[in-house]
Amino acid sequence: MQLFIDSADVAELHAAAASGLIDGVTTNPSLIAKSGRKMKEAIAEICSIIPGPVSAEAVATDVEGMLSEGRYLARIASNVVVKLPLTENGLRACRTLADEGIRVNVTLCFSAVQAMLAAKAGAYFISPFIGRLDDIKVDGVGLIREIRKVYDNYNFRTQVLAASIRTPEHVRDCALAGADCATLPPKIFAALYKHPLTDSGIEAFLKDWKSTGQSIL
């Protein structure tokens, strides 16, 4: 499973990149606003930190505006993926950008039929927001299973990028459901390393080792 970081904070991204485990980055207008940075500068810097796909989201809602913004964002760096919302206009723009060779991440997906339309429009990634479905008492991970099945039934190549991940259990469940990628807030990525038995196991091993009086080197 590819692991992406959902952040536009370059300090957080440097820290996550040092793990050697991060395959890409996703941003959205809220995350750019939170960073306090100019979008072009922030995306350019993020693209230099992480060589994998970096999603940068258009904010226009009409097709021509999405195309202009999408082409502009795609020129910032070769690893930019243009993020567009799952609307009729978003999918029309997706089709055009995909035909131009620009990768598109279709975002704000909340149903399997929306995901099917995005795949037909040539989306490179589909981003189902599982946490926001859980918020309204709908099974977010269930949507990942449904999309996986639909895509496999018809051999769609669009990658399933699970988003709005809130817990390490979401990551586990999305991996079991066959998501190609998951995008995680940095604190959830950090939590993936953790298990109380790992910590107590290290503590016991070190205590016993100390009692030997040895050193390895």
Out of 5, 6, 42, 85, point to the residue binding ligand G3P (CB under 6 A): 6
Report helix angle 140-154 to 112-120, nearest 10. 40
**Of the two residues 7 and 79, which places its CB atom closer to ligand G3P in the complex?**
7
Separation between Cα atoms, residue 82 and residue 203, nearest integer Å: 46
Q: How far is the CB of 1 from ligand G3P (least distance, A)?
A: 16
Selecting among 83, 149, 194, 207, the annotated active-site residue is 83
Out of 9, 17, 24, 26, point to the residue binding ligand G3P (CB under 6 A): 26
- Active site annotation includes 149: no
**Of the two residues 114 and 164, which places its CB atom closer to ligand G3P in the complex?**
164
Asked if 133 and 107 count as a contact pair (C-beta separation under 8 A), the reply is: no
The dihedral through the CA atoms of 20, 24, 29, 30 has a sign that is negative
Neighbours of 213 (CB within 10 A): 6
Q: How far is the CB of 191 from ligand G3P (least distance, A)?
A: 15
Phi, psi for residue 173 in degrees, rounded to 5: -65, -35
Separation between Cα atoms, residue 165 and residue 163, nearest integer Å: 5
Q: Which stretch binds ligand G3P (CB under 6 A): 88-96, 124-132, 152-160, 174-182?
A: 124-132
**Of the two residues 159 and 164, which places its CB atom closer to ligand G3P in the complex?**
164
Interface residues with ligand G3P (CB under 6 A)?
Answer: 6, 26, 28, 129, 131-132, 163-164, 183
Catalytic positions are 83
